[in-house]
Structure 1
């Protein structure tokens, strides 16, 4: 607070009580006999505040604070407005700083770089994200919720349909992965757990190969889940060659659509065999 000639009495936050129009309510101007358009200096008269005797508790709180302000107000300095964002004050409003204070922040997840990346297709990344959390409605999860269905894998019928089985351990999925891994440098052993898949992605020897593995994994997970749903709901069974052809076409489209990105322009040469 400076000379009180620019700060609104009712609508600026110049007291710890916040906006006085909110503190005293819509009848506040009538109770204090102060118009809504006045500034703080208009509520003073010399070395006294020009306010009626308080009647309500809210008015008592305001009067208590006003006794801490020395009158008359200084004429040598102007009012200064600050935006308080968290523990810091700003001379001007910054939406970026306000957003950082408003949104909840957590530690960066160790899988973040595998799922959310530039150049990825949203629907593929979303399916990968849900699969990473093991939240896809596999038959074992549906059966655990009380749904009266068999928990066996609908593709091979040899094991329970869990996330790791449907995407990694199933013989059908393994054949799909075999075609993909030829283009991404295969691991030394077959994947059996989800953590092994994530480790293989991060173990790439170059930035380009790591990015290719991420995009390929997104695409494989999406199309395997799509094939599984078509088999259950539409009774449509596709060969491994057909599913891989869809994956191959999807990968070529992703790389072609991002051919002007520096990080993706060299991926086509790695993918083509």
Structure 2
């Protein structure tokens, strides 16, 4: 997406695209949001809008001067900055300076031979040129970085595993205990797909019940990092302090944790919705295969831990 298309979207230039299309109607809805981040650097003043562009220190003049006064002064919505400045002086009507005293705070521009250019506000600075990354960073919601961030998000992770683990960290999966609290049920009390004794929950599935605990125990044997806990919060507490360290055995542990979460959740859903059942060993084999395939794509520096990892995960011939 280039800056001219962005300006089209903001209504600064007529759109050549079909305004009646559904996609463009949706894009046009974000104009009020985007407009606040676009600034105009004045060169010759022939491109920048006199009233709608953010070029003066006070912001766009249409937020200061009424449309009625602009029209009465003989101007229109297509006026450029060069139309309202002559001989380094603004061509304000006499009554504007008393009606809008803040206009006296704006210094008239000295035009150059260069064209006006548009930039994007980012972190109290202006970036000339446009990128989706800068736009998203400017107005995306932000919150404090959680301590388990590195447990979930890292470049070598499997995306679908990381996403599901992120949901689990926030306890956002639609477990049966949540559905009961929302009163979403068919009159019967839903039971865990594994034990058939209680409603499932994040803590129950990861890894309190014997089925998931046994799967996790088999996975633990494949990890060099010692995580003895079968309690979900205990597992997270063990991994979190080391998660940001660039060590092979820590990476393997994070991959194993995410893969175990993913396959247990998959098994749970298959049992409920498809009536398909796997043994603990079959779930473990799926976890082993997923992690091994990912490890095959990673280049490790030689070390004693890496040698053990290659032996455990059968990577010697890769």
1:212 aligns with 2:248: no
Deviation digits for residues 142-184 of structure 1 (CA, Å, limit 9, x no counterpart)? 2222223434322123444221111211111122112211111
1:140 aligns with 2:177: yes
CA distance in 2, matches of 1:45, 1:138: 69
What TM-score results when the alignment is normalised by the length of structure 1?
Answer: 0.74
Contact 1:175/1:240 (8 A) holds in 2 = yes
Uncovered stretches (5+) of structure 1, i.e. residues with no partner = none
Cα distance, 1:136 vs. partner?
Answer: 1.5
Worse-superposed segment, 139-148 or 202-211? 202-211
CA distance in 1, matches of 2:229, 2:250: 18
Aligned length: 262
Contact 2:220/2:227 (8 A) holds in 1 = no
CA distance in 1, matches of 2:54, 2:99: 13
The one of 241, 262, 270 aligned to 2:281:
241
The one of 50, 72, 87 aligned to 1:31:
72
Contact 1:128/1:221 (8 A) holds in 2 = yes
Superposed, 1:114-125 pairs within 5 Å as 114-125=151-162
CA distance in 2, matches of 1:49, 1:186: 71
CA distance in 2, matches of 1:10, 1:151: 62
CA distance in 2, matches of 1:105, 1:53: 46
The one of 147, 165, 182 aligned to 1:110:
147
Contact 1:128/1:218 (8 A) holds in 2 = yes
CA distance in 2, matches of 1:50, 1:188: 75
1:195 aligns with 2:237: no
Uncovered stretches (5+) of structure 2, i.e. residues with no partner = 1-41
Cα distance, 1:127 vs. partner?
Answer: 1.3
Query: Which residue of structure 2 lines up, in the alignment, with residue 171 of structure 1?
Result: 210
The root-mean-square deviation of aligned C-alpha atoms, in Å, is: 4.1
Worse-superposed segment, 22-31 or 196-205? 22-31
What TM-score results when the alignment is normalised by the length of structure 2?
Answer: 0.65
Contact 1:172/1:240 (8 A) holds in 2 = yes
Q: Secondary structure at the match of 2:161?
A: helix
Query: Which residue of structure 2 lines up, in the alignment, with residue 88 of structure 1?
Result: 124
Contact 1:17/1:62 (8 A) holds in 2 = no
Larger radius of gyration: 1
1:20 aligns with 2:61: yes
Q: Does the C-alpha gap of structure 1 residues 139 and 253 become closer, same or farther in structure 2, counting only changes over 3 Å?
A: same
Q: Does the C-alpha gap of structure 1 residues 152 and 68 become closer, same or farther in structure 2, counting only changes over 3 Å?
A: closer
Q: Secondary structure at the match of 1:241?
A: helix
